[in-house]
């Protein structure tokens, strides 16, 4: 399937149905076109060889890239929270000065 937006070609998607020896029914494998604005999933749902037809399911999920960005920010926030503080506690600085003076 050639995917275009506003007449501009974006990509070619190739969803498929996989038939495994141990499975009775084929397993659908979608193909995905991902951008920062969202994902476009294209799945082959039903293939009828006798009638030479296929059912296709198209799903648009916006803002999926933003979820990955949020995960990275949460990870950075977690790392920042376990790092020791740069400034010293005020009580420790006063105690250190008294020891030096004595």
Compute the distance between CA of residue 72 and CA of residue 5 in angstroms, rounded to an integer. 29
pTM of the model: 0.62
Pick the residue with more confidence: 62 or 95?
Answer: 62
Residue 58 has pLDDT above 80, yes or no: yes
- Phi/psi at 30 (5° precision): -75, 160
Residue 77 has pLDDT above 60, yes or no: yes
| Residue position matching structure tokens 């503080």 | 85
pLDDT recorded at residue 98: 57
pLDDT recorded at residue 2: 94
The helix/strand count (H/E) of the chain reads as 2, 7
Compute the distance between CA of residue 55 and CA of residue 38 in angstroms, rounded to an integer. 23
72 pLDDT tier (thresholds 50, 70, 90): very high
Helix (H) or strand (E) run with residue 98 in it: helix 90-101
């Amino acid at each position: 399937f050639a995917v275009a937006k506003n007449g501009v070609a974006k990509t070619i998607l190739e969803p498929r149905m996989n038939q495994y020896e141990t499975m009775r029914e084929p397993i659908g494998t979608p193909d995905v076109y991902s951008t920062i604005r969202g994902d476009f999933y294209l799945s082959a749902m039903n293939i009828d060889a006798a009638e030479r037809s296929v059912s296709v399911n198209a799903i648009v999920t916006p803002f999926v890239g933003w979820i990955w960005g949020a995960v990275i920010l949460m990870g950075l926030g977690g790392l920042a929270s376990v790092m020791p503080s740069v400034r010293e506690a005020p009580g420790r600085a006063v105690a250190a000065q008294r020891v030096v003076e004595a």
